Amino acid sequence: MGNNIVDKIYSLKQMRNAIILSHFYERPEIQDIGDFVGDSLELSRKAASTNADVIVFCGVHFMAETASILSPDKKVLLPNKSAGCPMADMAAYEEVKKLKERYPNAVVVSYINTTADVKTISDICCTSANAVKVINSIPLNKEIIFVPDKNLGNYVSKETGRKLILWQGYCNTHDRLTAEEVLLTKERYPYAKVVAHPECREEVIQLADGVFSTSGIIKYVGESEAKEFIICTEEGIIHQLEIRYPNKVFILPSNKLICPDMKKITLEDVFYSLENLRPEVKISDEVREKAIIPIKRMLDIK
Ligand code: 13P
Ligand code: SF4
- Judged by DSSP in three states, 3 sits in coil
Q: Domain count of the chain?
A: 3
Q: Is 60 in the pocket of ligand 2 (CB under 6 A)?
A: yes
272 is in an annotated binding site: no
DSSP string covering 81-97, please? TT---TTGGGS-HHHHH
Task: List Cβ neighbours of 73 (8 Å cut-off, separation of 6 or more).
Answer: none
Q: Looking at the predicted complex, does its ipTM rise above 0.90? A: yes
User: Pick from 172, 184, 178: which is nearest to 196 by CA?
Assistant: 178
pLDDT of residue 3: 60
CA of 66 to the centre of ligand 2 (A): 15
Classify residue 256: in a domain, yes or no. no
Residue 295, domain member (yes or no): no
Task: Find all residues with CB under 8 Å of 225, minimum gap 6, and list them.
Answer: none
Mutate to test the pocket of ligand 2, among 128, 173, 258 (most ligand atoms within 8 A of CB): 173
190 and 233 both lie in a single domain: yes
Quick: pLDDT tens for 185-204.
Answer: 999 999 999 999 999 999 99
The reply to whether 288 falls in a domain is: no
Q: What is the largest CA-CA distance in the chain?
A: 60
241 and 269 inside one domain: no
179 and 212 part of one domain: yes
Q: Is 257 a domain residue?
A: no
Instruction: Identify the pLDDT of residue 41.
Output: 84
The bridge status of strand 165-166 relative to strand 107-111 is unpaired
Cα–Cα distance measured from residue 161 to residue 92, given in angstroms and rounded to the nearest whole number: 28
Using the 3D structure, point to which of 170, 193, 222 is the last residue of a domain. 170
Clarify whether residues 131 and 156 are in a common domain: yes
Counting as low any pLDDT under 70, the low residues of the chain are 1-3
Domain boundary (210, 228, 251) is at 251
Among the bound ligands, name the one nearest to the CA of residue 88: 2
Last-in-domain residue among 170, 199, 225: 170
CATH number for the domain spanning 244: value is: 3.40.50.10800
> Does some domain include residue 246?
yes
Residue 233 and residue 276 in one domain: no
**Domain around 205:** 173-251
Measured from the Cβ of residue 60, the count of other Cβ atoms closer than 10 Å reads: 27
State whether 117 and 182 are in the same domain: no
